[in-house]
Chain A
Amino acid sequence: MNADFITNIGLTHYLVLSAILFAMGMAGVLLRRNVLVLLMSIELMLNSVNLTFIAFSKFLGILDGHIMVFFVMTIAAAEAAVGLALAVSIFKRFNEVNIRFFEHLKG
């Protein structure tokens, strides 16, 4: 850990930060049982990908990354809307939002 690593912030720092956040989101999806927390973990993963896009577009000087972030944000909002509607209907039936009740969704 040299001083240059701490003072000189480059592309690598942002990429490592977003990788760690992505791993956190993935751990949340795998380990938690509450549907709402699962959805939140997915949001966390999408956000970390957004950070990667923005970092690349800053350091490579191309704006297309910003557009991708727009699209990802829209899709994340849509996903949250549908996910919450599903969670609400599961809650109405079972009074709990554990992921195991989603087994009943088939047929």
Chain B
Amino acid sequence: MTADAFLFWFLAIVTLGSGLMVILQKNPIYSALSLAMTMVGMAALFVTLNAFFIAGVQLIVYAGAVMVLFTMVIMLFDLKQDIQAFTRGKLSGILKIASVGLLAGLVVGAIAMSVGLLTEKTTDNPVLVGNGMETTKALGQILYTKYIFGFEALGVLLLVIAVGAVALSRSKGGTHER
């Protein structure tokens, strides 16, 4: 077993285990901490795919900011154990699990069928090998030329979101002002 394969299986087990914890834990605080673990595992998976810069951004944005915000909000709520953590009806629950299972089976089956249809290029592209600097440089170049419109649109979106979040949290009765 090579080091790459070992790393992949280890990270796969970590992400799947902590991802399962997110949906199975009754206390939301443990869900949030498990999701943070999933994010860190995902960042490590990005490193195994040579996406160093994206891995760093994942750590800073997701694990370092978004999930800390979630954890802080949950701690401020000081929720006791959820009385109704899971869905109510038994029949609807079974239906939901069955539909999820069906979707997962379909997706995994489709991937398994399509093995070998895609031609894999692993080493002939100089942009995607190396220690990350070349990839980051190329990434910056296409972000600010080809995708400049999307970039600017996201800037506007973020401004709107910031104003909206402040307005929502400052209104007196929340969404139920009388």
Are A28 and B150 in contact, CB atoms less than 8 angstroms apart? no
Q: Which of A29-47 contact B (CB under 8 A)?
A: 30-34, 36-37, 39-41, 43-44, 47
Are B100 and A66 in contact, CB atoms less than 8 angstroms apart? no
Q: Which secondary structure dominates where chain B touches chain A?
A: helix
Contact for B23 among A22, A27, A86, CB less than 8 A: A27
**A98 to B61 CA separation, bound complex (whole angstroms):** 27
A9-B5, A12-B111, A20-B16 as given contacts; A77 in contact with B85, CB under 8 Å: no
Which B residues touch A14, using CB under 8 A? Answer: 45, 49
**A17 to B66 CA separation, bound complex (whole angstroms):** 23
Is B133 interfacial (CB 8 A cutoff)?
no
The interface on chain B, measured as residues whose beta carbon lies within 8 A of the other chain's beta carbons, has a size of: 87
Please give me the residue from chain A that is nearest to B125 by CB atom: A61
Interface residues of A (CB under 8 A from B): 6-17, 19-28, 30-34, 36-37, 39-41, 43-44, 47, 50-51, 54-55, 57-61, 63-64, 66-67, 69-71, 73-78, 80-82, 84-93, 96-98, 104-105
Interface residues of B (CB under 8 A from A): 1-2, 4-5, 8-9, 12, 15-16, 19-20, 22-23, 28, 31-32, 35, 38-39, 42, 45-46, 49-51, 53-54, 57-58, 61-62, 65-66, 69-70, 73-74, 77, 79, 82, 84-88, 93, 96-97, 99-101, 103-104, 107-108, 111-112, 115, 118, 120-122, 124-125, 127-128, 135, 138-139, 142-143, 147, 150, 154, 157-158, 161-162, 164-165, 168-169, 171, 173-176
